[in-house]
A and B are shown apart, each in its own frame.
Chain A
Amino acid sequence: MLMQGSRIETTGSPPLLEVASVGKSFGALVAVADVSFALRERDILGIAGPNGAGKTTLFNLITGTPFFPDSGRVTFRGTRIDRMAPHRIFRLGLARTFQKEASFANLTVEQNVSLGATYGAGLSGRARERAVDAALERLDLSAMRRQPASSLTVYGTKRLMLASAIVVGPKLLMLDEPASGLTASEVADLQSLILGFRDDGMAILLIEHILPLLFGISERVMVMDFGRKLIEGPPSEVARDQRVIDAYLGGQSEAAHALAG
């Protein structure tokens, strides 16, 4: 039995996000068990693992949407958030996007982002306008601001989700499979966007199956299997781990090695 909680180091500044032994069960199904990790400012931690391993559930536990953990603690910027309402967590500076592209289809692109600014950051008036303009510009959506969100392509909708998330100026951005369904050149574009967010001071938690993105930008990668943390380490180490190859990479392990360097 590994004491995973003991791996969190306490040197230097306290972590931005600290997840300590969180767990969640649905009836007899253990979705997440005893998962611990820590994230510092401007860290990029990739989260990988087979479908159904509990990655999205872990995100849900951190953001309290739509449920709280059964056990364990989640601390963000020094504040316990594991029983906090989602909108309060958001206002502390934690934003996320979802696996399925989600937007208010009948509202314009601009209105969608404005909603994020209003309810996520409590902005109004000129401050809100400026924040919305900046977010639209950042995600290359300015030209489409008056179009209905439903008219966007897959990548457009993903960029809209990102704009609605970053408009509040989060300290931590949690991305759930942002690259799924994107072409190779869109993935490359997304990669530079995410690195740009990091350079602006955001830490990134990234669930991803698209290996060029996962291994291309993560400073560390955590792999989950059956709700548990299998390993956490630098990409090169994780890509060579036999348990990771068996459970997750399969025939694509060589590609992963090449990407992880």
Chain B
Amino acid sequence: MRLQVEAISAGYGRVRVLHEISIAVDNQRVGLFGPNGHGKTTLLRTISGLIRPTAGRVIFDGKDITGRSPQSIVGEGLVHVPQGSTLLPRMTVLEALTLGAYSRRAWPRRRATMEQVFSLFPRLAERRAQRCNTLSGGERQMAAIGAGLMGCPKLLMLDEPTLGLAPKLRAELAQAIHAIAATGVGLLVIDQDIDMLLGLCDRLYLIEQGRVALDVVDRSSIQHQDVLKRYFGSAA
């Protein structure tokens, strides 16, 4: 098992957001979905060490990483690309990507990794000398994911990668994420684009009120059809 989240509780101040939540990510692509404000992002932030849980454990590659610093967790190969544009605006694309390789694991391989990122996102190669604040929304999203890949992740966590993207670009990005997964990188993805999640993931967790409300493993099951009806209306 690559990532195991065991009965994690976490929140902000006195507000508890996650209630003894458990999820598992093996060599697979896992999607998190559900209403906004129910803890999906908080779960990713807790896994990546940005929030310290009040109870429970996070096990990654057999190691207990609970309470460790974000940089040491990135060093293990667990990389989190947060929602929205978090790139430093005045940095060039090249600088932003290079910064993504700043862990001990990733640094020696940075040139080869960057070639891979450029072949995945040719647009970034064209824009490499451009400052991040001059990129379009789609290019910024590619740069953020590219910077995540520069950390040589074993598991990549993406928080709403298709947010605000035009349909065509959304489809292109979904393809790129498929290609990333095909190289053996595990994926844990939050998105509201259900068609994308269905096309990408082998396993879906419905997160409601800080808990796993449903764990959908078999996509052809009746349970799966039921989920589609309940949460996505007529989708798929």
Interface residues of A (CB under 8 A from B): 48-52, 99, 153-156, 177, 180-186, 188, 209, 211, 247-252, 255-256
- How many A-B contacts at CB < 8 Å in the complex? 82
Are A209 and B171 touching (Cβ within 8 A)? no
Are A50 and B164 touching (Cβ within 8 A)? no
New A-B pairs, 4, CB < 8 Å, besides A52-B138, A251-B171: A52-B136, A99-B164, A183-B231, A209-B166
Are A51 and B138 touching (Cβ within 8 A)? yes
Q: Is B89 an interface residue (CB 8 A)?
A: no
Those of B163-195 within 8 Å (CB) of chain A: 163-172, 192, 194-195
A122 to chain B, nearest CB (A): 34
B147 to chain A, nearest CB (A): 19
Task: Please indicate the chain A residues that have their CB under 8 angstroms from the CB of B168 in the complex.
Answer: 50, 247-252
Given contacts A50-B169, A252-B171, contact A184 B37 (CB under 8 A): no
Task: Please indicate the chain A residues that have their CB under 8 angstroms from the CB of B169 in the complex.
Answer: 50-51, 250
Instruction: Find the A residue at minimum CB distance from B140.
Output: A51
Are A183 and B138 touching (Cβ within 8 A)? no
Given contacts A51-B136, A250-B171, contact A183 B166 (CB under 8 A): no
Q: Is the interface of A mostly helix, strand, loop or mixed?
A: helix
Are B37 and A50 touching (Cβ within 8 A)? no
Q: Is B235 an interface residue (CB 8 A)?
A: yes
Are A183 and B37 touching (Cβ within 8 A)? no
Cα(A51)–Cα(B231), bound, Å: 28
Are A156 and B37 touching (Cβ within 8 A)? yes
Task: Please indicate the chain A residues that have their CB under 8 angstroms from the CB of B139 in the complex.
Answer: 51
Are A181 and B167 touching (Cβ within 8 A)? no
Are A180 and B163 touching (Cβ within 8 A)? yes
Task: Please indicate the chain B residues that have their CB under 8 angstroms from the CB of A49 in the complex.
Answer: 166
Which one of A155, A156, A184, A209 contacts B167 once the chains associate, using CB atoms below 8 Å? A209
Cα(A55)–Cα(B192), bound, Å: 23
Are A184 and B160 touching (Cβ within 8 A)? no
Given contacts A49-B166, A51-B136, contact A183 B171 (CB under 8 A): no
Instruction: Find the A residue at minimum CB distance from B233.
Output: A184
Are A181 and B166 touching (Cβ within 8 A)? no
